[in-house]
Amino acid sequence: MPKFRHEIKLLLSQADYRLMSARLSSLLERDENAGTDGEYFIRSLYFDDASRTAYYEKLSGVADRKKYRLRIYNHSDSVIKLECKEKRGDRIKKRAVSVSRQAADGMVSGDFSELYNSDDPLCQEVLSLAKGRGLAPSVVVDYDREAYVHPVGNVRLTFDKALHAGISSADIFDNELVTVPIFPDGSVIFEVKYDELLPVYIRDLVSTAHGERIALSKFCLCRDALSLLKQKY
CATH number at residue 221: 3.20.100.30
pLDDT tens per residue across span 86-140:
999 889 999 999 999 999 999 999 999 999 999 999 999 999 999 999 999 999 9
Nearest to 159 by CA among 2, 6, 22, 4: 22
More reliable by pLDDT, 124 or 207: 124
How many residues in total does the chain contain?
233
Distance CA(159)–CA(146), nearest Å, equals 5
Query: Which residues, 6+ apart, have CB-to-CB distance to 176 below 8 Å?
Result: none
- DSSP letter string over 126-171? HHHHHHHH--EEEEEEEEEEEEEEETTTTEEEEEEEEEEEE-S-S-
The angle that helices 14-25 and 200-207 make with each other, rounded to 10 degrees, is 160
For residue 72, pLDDT over 90 is answered with: yes
For residue 232, pLDDT over 70 is answered with: no
Consecutive H or E run containing 226: helix 218-232
Mean pLDDT (whole number) for 62-80: 96
pLDDT tens per residue across span 159-184:
999 999 999 899 999 999 999 999 99
Give the residue numbers spanning the domain of 173. Answer: 5-232
Residue 231, Cβ density class (10 Å: 0-12 exposed, 13-18 middle, ≥19 buried): exposed
Q: How many domains does the chain have?
A: 1
pTM of the model: 0.94
